[in-house]
């Protein structure tokens, strides 16, 4: 009797859950051409960026002949430099618009990737501060400048091209699409690399493919994101009238450069202590992102044999595939959940699996770690990016994205300073995997990552006082 009486209620709840899960995808499916143009561009750039960055430590050790510590610092120069560039260049989209910002960014990255790929072919002088090193650094500078404009421009575009109903899924899908691109190098790179007699020749061939994909990305933006398409999309998704939009545009045009600068300075978020705590407490857990390119590729090559070592690109880029699958699902299921509580649980679920790697190198611990930490990443990372973009005052999305990413700059710098030392001491090149002590390395990394969730939990009373009113109200 009790089972029958509960059945309709259970069925009703199941229908509600199913509708909540499916409806955001339906809304996004009907999104504008401009939004899908951004997603396609981000897919290509995710493929190219993650493909190149996954090679960089090996590139600097094998081609430029740097040691592990210096190679890690060079990768840190690029990844941290990108975040620092966002701080200074993030406002570009606020000043010149989405389309021009994306084209300028991709041109910078194209030049940078050409220099990086040409370096080993045009000079044989290797070592620290050699000509090979300097050419590679020129390439990295181009990528840094380009990506410093590109990512803020993409998130500003999502804010412009989505409605209130589609914005949460729009940010989640952008993050997921980038990570789908980040997985594809694991499929594309190994057969190309293995088709050549040496890994070095094969790696350069793969990097030329990434140069070609950057050119394709420029073509996509030029053809799909026309000025007419962007203007039409903004009018369609806006809840304001056409007259109000034109009035705002006129008001913006009338502002002098001095007025804009004063407005930017007055509205910098550094005066909000909760905001500053919120972004800086995430540094410990974000070190795990940095280890994806600073530690994991080398870890797979040195601590493993057979399938894992031979296909290290696949395992390095397996996390982005999971992010592509899980992020939209998690976003749909948690769209109404409290942002701060999602941050606590998400950072915990991401950090804790690091201790699984402390059990020792095996394919089972690797897959368990990658799966569980990715669930945690899908819980908090897109929500953080959405939150930063949504709280930004009108016309300041780019600079808010830059400020919000500044701790990520510090994360990349700090992690790159010690990751090489840990590899040299716990997974040194030239010894058998059985003689390594990677367990201690991952245990220490797990303890570092857990600081974020613990800090967020302990500060929840202070943070929640103003958090709901300001950011969720």
Residues 6+ apart with CB under 8 A from 296: 315, 316
Local confidence band at 2 (pLDDT 50, 70, 90 cut-offs): very low
**304 touches 433 (CB < 8 A):** yes
pLDDT of residue 229: 79
Angle at 236 between CA 234 and CA 242, to 5 degrees: 75
Mean per-residue pLDDT over the chain, rounded: 80
pLDDT tens for 15-27 read: 554 555 455 555 5
What is the Cα–Cα distance from 468 to 473, expressed in whole angstroms? 6
Burial status of residue 372 (CB atoms within 10 A of its CB: 0-12, 13-18, 19 or more)? middle
110, 215 Cβ separation under 8 angstroms: yes
Least confident window among 117-131, 169-183, 251-265, 293-307: 251-265
pLDDT digit string (tens) for 412-456? 788 888 988 999 899 988 888 888 999 999 999 999 999 999 999
| Mean local confidence (pLDDT), 35-62 | 87
Using alpha carbons, select from 130, 109, 104, 103 the residue that is nearest to residue 46. 109
Rounded to an integer, what distance in angstroms lies between the CA atom of residue 102 and that of residue 39? Answer: 13
User: Which residues are CB-neighbours of 461 under 8 A, at least 6 positions away?
Assistant: none
Is residue 376 within 8 A of residue 346, CB to CB? The reply is yes
Q: Check whether 47 has a pLDDT greater than 80.
A: yes
Give this prediction's pTM: 0.67
Between 201 and 327, name the one with better pLDDT.
Answer: 201
Q: From CA 351, how far away is CA 348, in angstroms rounded?
A: 5
pLDDT in tens, 107-133: 999 999 999 998 888 877 777 888 888
Q: What is the mean pLDDT of residues 194-218?
A: 90
pLDDT above 70: percentage of residues in the chain: 79
Residue 9 scores a pLDDT above 80: no
| Each residue's pLDDT tens digit, 219-250 | 999 998 888 877 777 776 665 444 544 555 55
Q: Which one is predicted more confidently, 164 or 366? A: 366
Instruction: Tell me the longest C-alpha to C-alpha distance in the chain.
Output: 83
The two three-digit tokens of residue 369, written as one number:
């770690």
């Amino acid at each position: 009797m009790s089972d029958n009486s509960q059945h309709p209620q259970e069925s009703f709840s199941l229908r509600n859950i199913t509708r909540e899960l499916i409806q955001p995808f339906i809304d996004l499916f009907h999104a504008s051409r401009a939004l899908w143009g951004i997603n396609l561009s981000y897919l290509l750039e995710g493929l190219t960026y993650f493909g190149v960055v996954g090679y960089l430590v090996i590139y600097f050790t094998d081609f430029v002949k740097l040691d592990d510590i210096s190679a890690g610092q060079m990768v840190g120069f690029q990844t941290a430099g990108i975040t620092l560039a966002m701080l200074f260049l993030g406002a570009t989209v606020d000043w010149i618009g989405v389309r021009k910002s994306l084209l300028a960014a991709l041109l910078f990255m194209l030049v940078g990737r050409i220099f990086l790929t040409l370096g080993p072919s045009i000079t044989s002088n290797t070592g620290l501060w050699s000509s090979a090193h300097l050419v590679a650094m020129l390439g990295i500078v181009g990528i840094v400048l380009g990506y410093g404009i590109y990512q803020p421009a993409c998130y500003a575009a999502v804010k412009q091209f989505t409605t209130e109903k589609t914005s949460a899924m729009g940010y989640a899908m952008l993050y997921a699409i980038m990570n789908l691109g980040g997985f594809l190098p694991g499929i594309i790179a190994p057969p190309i690399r293995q088709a050549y007699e040496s890994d070095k020749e094969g790696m350069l061939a793969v990097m030329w493919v990434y140069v070609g994909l950057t050119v394709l990305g420029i073509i996509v933006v030029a053809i799909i994101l026309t000025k007419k398409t962007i203007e039409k999309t903004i009018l369609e998704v806006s809840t304001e009238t056409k007259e109000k939009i034109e009035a705002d545009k006129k008001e913006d045009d009338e502002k002098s450069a001095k007025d804009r600068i004063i407005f930017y300075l007055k509205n910098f978020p550094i005066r909000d202590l909760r905001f500053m705590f919120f972004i800086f407490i995430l540094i410990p857990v974000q070190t795990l992102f940095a280890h994806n390119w600073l530690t994991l590729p080398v870890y797979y090559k040195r601590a493993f044999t057979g399938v894992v070592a031979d296909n290290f690109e696949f395992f390095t880029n397996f996390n982005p595939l999971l992010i592509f699958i899980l992020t939209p699902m998690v976003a749909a299921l948690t769209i109404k959940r409290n942002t701060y509580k999602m941050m606590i649980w998400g950072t915990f679920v991401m950090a804790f699996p690091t201790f699984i790697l402390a059990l020792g190198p095996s394919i089972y611990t690797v897959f368990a770690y990658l799966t569980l930490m990715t669930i945690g990443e899908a819980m908090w990372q897109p929500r953080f990016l959405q939150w930063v973009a949504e709280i930004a005052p009108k016309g300041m999305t780019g600079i808010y994205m830059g400020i919000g990413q500044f701790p990520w700059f510090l994360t990349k710098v700090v992690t790159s300073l010690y990751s090489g030392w840990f590899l040299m001491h716990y997974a040194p090149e030239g010894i058998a995997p059985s003689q390594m002590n990677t367990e201690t390395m991952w245990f220490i990394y797990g303890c570092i990552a857990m600081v974020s969730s613990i800090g967020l939990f302990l500060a929840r009373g202070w943070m929640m006082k103003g958090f709901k009113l300001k950011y969720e109200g």
